[in-house]
Amino acid sequence: MEKEDALNALAALGQETRLDVFRLLVKAGKEGMTAGAISDALNVRPNTLSTHLGALSRSALVRAERDGRSIHYSADLATMQSLVTFLLQDCCGGNPDLCAPIANLFTTVSCSDTKGL
């Protein structure tokens, strides 16, 4: 991931509603959710949600796929993984023992761990 891409992703997540949308889509999994379902779940007006989904899509944190007349949005976990990798790339000044707690956290996270998001 390039620095500019990381900045765009962090900026997109640095807003309360967009962070809530991303976390909701992580919970929804691969099948994602329609904009209407997201709007209902978070009690966000559709036109406001559209703006937030656009920002998340431009930062590649959210994917949109057309399914007939509906659009399903889903979290792009590969982009999130790239962002976290970018942030931790030079972790602990080359001393891997110091990074072990962080590295172990990422190897133990599973889908069941996202239920509390």
Q: How do the residues of the chain divide into helix, strand and coil, expressed in percent and rounded to 5?
A: 70, 10, 20
The pTM score is 0.81
Per-residue model confidence as pLDDT tens digits over 57-82: 999 999 999 988 889 999 999 999 88
| pLDDT in the model for residue 96 | 66
H helices then E strands: how many in the chain?
A: 6, 3
Decide which of 84 and 117 is more confident.
84
Alpha-carbon distance of 17 to 69, in angstroms, equals 25
Coil vs helix vs strand at 2: coil
Please report the domains of the chain, with CATH numbers, ordered by start residue.
1-117 (1.10.10.10)
Contact 117, 26 (CB under 8 A): yes
Contact predicate 52/64, CB 8 Å: no
Does residue 100 surpass a pLDDT of 50?
yes
CB 9 within 8 A of CB 79: yes
